[in-house]
Copies of this chain bind each other. A is one copy, B any other.
Amino acid sequence: MSARSPANSVDPDAPRAPLRAFSRSLPMALLKAREAVMGRFRPILHAHDLTEQQWRVLRALTSADGFRAGELARLSSISMPSLSRILRALEKRALIERGVEDKDLRAAQISITASGRALIALIAPHSERGYADITAAFGDERLATLYRLLDELATCLTDGTEPVEVDEE
């Protein structure tokens, strides 16, 4: 016998949950948009052996000199465990350097090296071309609106009442 359609033709004991369609799933919509956008940038980074996250860290390091790991994690939206691995990899490639802070021996001072800056300078124009493509395809105004909405959404969900209570049954 064929094994098609097993023993589960909608058991009436298991109530049909009227689940919202994927088209109205907010995490899904955000994911797909992000995938589409990253499809434009990933090849550029991959051509230089950088992951998206490594790129974010390098970028953040150009805005000042001598960050601590925690600051870097917040700036680049990368968790500390991931950042720890990323810094190890970037240091091995001599794209960043670490020192220790005088006043706090736990904290590391992380800076980008000249090689790191050179790599960024190599990639930056490609990145900007990606943005130009996206802007051309999507429109300047709609893009601005999207930025605003995304920022407002993150803000209004991050502020105030933090997590949802999960009552165990």
Contact = CB atoms under 8 A, between A and B. Distances in A.
Taken together, the copies of this chain in the complex come to 2
B5 A66 contact: yes
A65 interface: yes
Interface in A46-76: 47, 52, 56, 59-60, 62-63, 65-66, 75-76
Contacts of A52: 27
A77 interface: yes
A106 interface: no
B26 A163 contact: no
Contacts of A99: 2-6
Contacts of A65: 5, 8-10
Interface string A104-142: 000001011111011011101011111101100110001
Chain A interface bracket (under 10, 10 to 19, 20 to 34, 35 or more): 35 or more
A8 B16 CA distance: 62
Contact of A27 (B9, B41, B47, B121): B41
A20 B128 contact: yes
A158 interface: yes
Interface string A18-42: 1111111111111111111111110
3 A-B pairs closest in CB distance:
A3-B99, A14-B117, A17-B124
Given A6-B97, A22-B60, 6 more contacts: A3-B100, A4-B99, A14-B115, A14-B118, A36-B153, A43-B166
